């Protein structure tokens, strides 16, 4: 797991959890969001649809990770920390990984598509945080979630933040 932090380690940490999914760390893929249901059809309730909240989510992950970093819980007390420790058993490595995840997740919870799932007749199981909301492809971006996660910064006019 080689990272190119250069002079911007905090910036690199902000994208870390997404960039490692394909490097054997996909176990944390479901931890990035909470997807609270948003109903937009008048008169409907969740009972009208097949939507269920997942067993893991970003709020639970951040709560456990924060408690772990503060020494309030042992790593064995959290399925999130246990999963990390299985990959990185050395305590210092586990703590470093947890910190990187926390930095990333703080950003995720501020991204609308990581907090809400549209639930309606079209998406009875939820729109997966905008992943099911297809849009015309531009530069490979073809769903609403991807716009927020990967492309919105491309169109802000701001310079790149990370040195290559």
pLDDT digits (tens, 9 = 90+) for 86-118: 999 999 999 999 999 999 999 888 888 889 999
Give the pLDDT score at 146.
83
CA torsion sign for 111, 20, 99, 5 is negative
pLDDT score of 147 = 82
Alpha carbon of 69 to those of 29, 49, 63, 64, 79: distances in Å?
21, 38, 10, 9, 15
Write down the architecture of domain 30-38+50-154 according to CATH.
Orthogonal Bundle (1.10)
Q: Where are the domains of the chain?
A: 30-38+50-154
Task: Express each pLDDT in 31-40 by its tens digit.
Answer: 999 989 999 9
Question: Residue 66 pLDDT more than 90?
Answer: yes
φ and ψ of 137, to 5 deg: -70, 135
What's the pLDDT at 39? 97
């Amino acid at each position: 797991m080689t990272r190119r932090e250069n002079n911007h380690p905090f910036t690199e940490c902000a994208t870390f959890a997404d960039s490692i999914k394909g490097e054997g760390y996909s176990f944390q893929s479901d931890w990035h969001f909470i997807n609270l249901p948003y109903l937009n059809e008048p008169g409907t309730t969740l009972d009208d649809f097949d939507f269920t909240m997942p067993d893991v989510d970003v709020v639970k992950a951040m709560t456990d990770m924060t408690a772990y970093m503060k020494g309030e819980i042992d790593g064995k007390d959290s399925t999130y920390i246990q999963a990390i420790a299985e990959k990185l058993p050395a305590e210092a490595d586990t703590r470093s990984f947890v910190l990187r995840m926390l930095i990333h997740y703080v950003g995720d919870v501020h991204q609308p598509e990581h907090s809400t799932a549209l639930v309606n007749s079209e998406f009875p199981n939820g729109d997966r945080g905008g992943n099911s909301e297809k849009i015309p492809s531009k530069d490979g971006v073809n769903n609403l979630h991807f716009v927020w996660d990967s492309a919105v910064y491309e169109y802000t006019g701001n310079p790149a933040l990370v040195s290559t």
